[in-house]
Amino acid sequence: MIEDLTRSSSSTQQGVVRRFFRSPLVRIGVLGFVLLMMMGLNTDVMTSYASDPFKAVQHILALAIAGFAVYGAYAFSVEQRPVSELALPGMGRELGIGMLIGAGLYAVCELILMALGIYRIVGVNPVSFMVPALAMALSSGVFEELLFRGVLFRSVEAWFGTWAALVVSSLVFGLTHLINPEATLAGALFIAVEAGILLAGAYMLTRRLWLSIGFHMAWNYTQSAIFSSIVSGNEAAQGLIRSTVKGPDFLTGGNFGVESSVVSLLLCTSTGIVMVVMAVRRGRIVPPIWKRSA
């Protein structure tokens, strides 16, 4: 009987601990912190292998796989649920569509600036100039989506519903860009609106992360590797196209990059709203927990 009581007490304690780590707030603190530390490792890797981009890509790829593993392990062992948002069936299609959307939207932004005489092509670099941006695009696409959509959006949604999660994840995502070089409040708010709605809309529509990961990677890669443009206030690196940019900041984005331009704001926000509307029509909206309980 004593053994039964001890076993029952141990089981109860384990249940309490598991419920504690399952709670959305703790999930943000624990899993979010681990992923944030891994993002720091990515930065160290890209700095250390700046002169050897192929090694940088290899290391970032290994870290990305580790990031998926950590995320999945938390879901399986702590939350005790299948990781449906990272399910492999259909991954290639959603990732590919996301990459086409991301690359296409950025290319349209630059084509509009070219038509206005603001962005001018003055030459072309060797194809090898497109390699260094691979590590940056892979790192930001994977880890920022795991953190902001996989952890933050899903955790807020679990308590307060989809609309609160959309607002909170978008604002936090945008405002974190204030730590970037040449960051401005306007640029951070532009990203919160255009990218926050677009990336959250991709998750809301599919209830998976592959579409947003594909968009995020392709946008950043196209911006840097092909058009040699500033990425979120970071210093522009030479990509495939040599160019000059001259025009008003509200169209060029100034020192923060195209993300801070009205061109990007209109294109990306419109695309994001379309996906959010599609998600609503497909019944993908989760109400707050108190309405679910009722």
pLDDT in tens, 166-191: 999 999 999 998 888 877 888 889 99
Q: pLDDT tens for residues 194-212?
A: 999 999 999 999 999 999 9
Which run of H or of E encompasses 122? strand 119-124
pLDDT at 18: 65
pLDDT of 234: 76
Cβ atoms of 217 and 96 within 8 Å: the answer is no
- Considering the domain boundaries, does residue 40 fall inside one? no
Dump pLDDT digits (tens) for 111-156. 999 999 999 999 999 999 999 999 999 999 999 999 999 999 999 9
Over residues 236-262, the pLDDT tens digits come to 788 999 988 999 989 988 888 898 899
pLDDT at 5: 46
Distance (Å, whole) CA 24 – CA 152: 9
pLDDT value of position 94 = 97
pLDDT digits (tens, 9 = 90+) for 59-101: 999 999 999 999 999 999 998 899 999 999 999 999 999 999 9
Number of domains composing the chain? 1
C-alpha distances in angstroms, 177 versus 15, 18, 31, 241? 38, 34, 20, 26
pLDDT at 8 over 70: no
Domain enclosing residue 136, as ranges: 87-293
Over residues 22-69, the pLDDT tens digits come to: 788 889 999 999 999 999 999 899 988 888 999 999 999 999 999 999
26 in a domain, yes or no?
Answer: no
Residue 232 within any structural domain of the chain? yes
- Give yes or no for residue 224 having a pLDDT over 60: yes
Cα–Cα distance, 239 to 50 (Å, whole number): 14
Residue 255 lies in a domain: yes
Place 263 in a pLDDT band, splitting at 50, 70 and 90: very high
- Predicted structure pTM score: 0.91
In a domain, 77, yes or no: no
Asked if residue 213 is part of any domain, the answer here is yes
Task: Assess if residue 176 is contained within a domain.
Answer: yes
C-alpha span between 294 and 292 (Å, rounded): 5
Bridge partners of 119, per DSSP, are 245
Rounded distance between C-alpha atoms, residue 30 and residue 200, angstroms: 22
Higher-pLDDT residue of 283, 1: 283
pLDDT at residue 3, as a whole number: 57
Q: Report the pLDDT value the prediction gives residue 177, as an integer from 0 to 100.
A: 87
Residue with tokens 């592959």: 210
Helix, strand or coil, per DSSP, at residue 229: coil
Q: Is residue 183 part of a domain?
A: yes
| Tally of helices (H runs) and strands (E runs) in the chain | 12, 2
